[in-house]
Amino acid sequence: MSLIKLHDKTFEPYVTAVQLQEIVARVADEIYQDLGDSRPVFVCILNGSFMFAADLVRRYKGLCELSFVKMASYEGTQSSGKIHHLIGLSDDLEGKDVVVIEDIVDTGNTLEEIYRIFADKKVHSFRIATLFFKPDAYTKDLKIDYVGKPIPNRFIVGYGLDYDELGRNLPEVYQLNTSLTMTNIVLFGKPGAGKGTQAAFLKEKYGLVHISTGDIFRYHIKNETELGRLVRSYTDRGDLVPDDVTIKMLQEEVAKNPDAKGFIFDGFPRTIAQAEALDAFLASKDMKIHGTLALEADDEVLVERIIGRGKVSGRADDQDETKIRNRFAEYNEKTAPLIAYYQQQGKYYPIDGIGSIEEITQRLSQAIDLIKSK
């Protein structure tokens, strides 16, 4: 298997034909163990699952029926993409064991509608079998009885799955090669270095998703989510939020943006332990940090800049020089060692943080362009 190109995107090998047949055989055996004494009706949801369904029934050891159906959406100006009914679905399913065959389950929206459609069919039993399942994207509380392979929230093609109708006939499965298109940046610097301001420009220019741990914390706390309450339990005691809690929040943000061209991580990592945790998390998603941009500026300049900002914002801790210098000391102690960490990986890019906003943006852009060219 080698890289392939479909339309404007490049895909890399992910699951071989041999591995697919092993997965299909296992799922067929699991279904037979549950329903071997009956004659189940396999309902194949076209178009994506046609290959999976064909191989599944060939591997199934017992008697079975097979039905092919297609989805139909609401028509007219109120179309929302939701399923209205299944074209080709037999009404004669009463008392039968039904297994719906899906190619992939991600958010679960389609699955929810399938459950709804079958709710009044008076079937003897109802099960879902999917070749692929994206747990990071799944938002429903609906049972999936048979899962061929859990996968990250990445775009895949082949073995029935398509990209704008291309790739269905491939005997293997390929995933979008984000290493050729994705750019993940860590942006760090001392307080007052202008990370937030620059991130706002860079995310627009390069189509990146800006993930600020400070913004995430504030969102979860304000909305009193489960994670927000957990964060508050630490901050109210004056304790630092543990790395595993922060990483969990980052995981959620990354999972929300499966089609992102890349991410700007702002405010994380702050320590080597956090950097290692971030690398491990990204590696589990077949991703990585491509470069670390460090905005550098003299302490005296930053103190003056922060105090000026504090006069406008009214933040008391931005008007107390002692507190500002204490924040610098904490940065030097915990965050500065990251320089060596990323230097060893060849990913460290120091950026002169003194000058106009436009000048600094230009310097950062030059560094990102260099990273993208590698």
Residues 234, 242 contacting (CB under 8 angstroms): yes
**What are the two backbone dihedrals, phi and then psi, of residue 346, each rounded to the nearest 5 degrees?**
70, 30
Distance between CA 97 and CA 93 in Å, rounded?
8
Q: Is 305 part of any known ligand binding site?
A: no
Q: Judging by DSSP bridges, how do beta strands 97-105 and 125-133 pair with one another?
A: parallel
To the question of whether residue 355 is assigned a binding role by annotation, the answer is yes
Catalytic residue among 168, 285, 309, 323: 309
Question: What value does the CA radius of gyration of the chain take, rounded to a whole number of Å?
Answer: 26
Query: Is 268 marked within a binding site?
Result: yes
The count of other CB atoms within 10 Å of the CB of residue 222 is 9
Residue 346 marked in a binding site: no
Annotated ligand binding at 195? The verdict is: yes
Catalytic residue (choose from 134, 149, 154, 270) = 270
Known binder of ligand: residue 120?
no
Q: Report the Cα 215 to chain-centroid distance in Å.
A: 18
Catalytic residue among 127, 195, 305, 363: 195
Give catalytic status of residue 270 as yes or no. yes
314 marked among binding-site residues: no
From the list 59, 327, 334, 347, the catalytic residue is: 327
Question: Is 148 among the annotated ligand-binding positions?
Answer: no
* CA proximity to 175, closest of 337, 1, 291, 44: 1
Assess whether 26 carries a catalytic annotation: no
Catalytic residue among 39, 61, 315, 325: 315
Catalytic residue check, 323:
no
Residue 39 is among the residues annotated as catalytic for this protein: no
Q: Tell me if 192 is assigned to a ligand binding site.
A: yes
Written as one letter, the residue type at 253 is E
CA-to-CA distance for 233 and 227, rounded, in angstroms?
10
- Per-residue tokens: 9: 């995107």
Q: Is 240 part of any known ligand binding site?
A: yes
Residue 109 preceded by cis peptide, ω within 30: no
- 244 assigned to a ligand binding site: no
Residue 222 designated active-site: no
Residues comprising the binding site for ATP? 192-197, 309, 355
Point out the residues that are catalytic.
195, 270, 309, 315, 327
Residues comprising the binding site for AMP? 213, 218, 239-241, 267-270, 274, 315, 327
Residues comprising the binding site? 192-197, 213, 218, 239-241, 267-270, 274, 309, 315, 327, 355
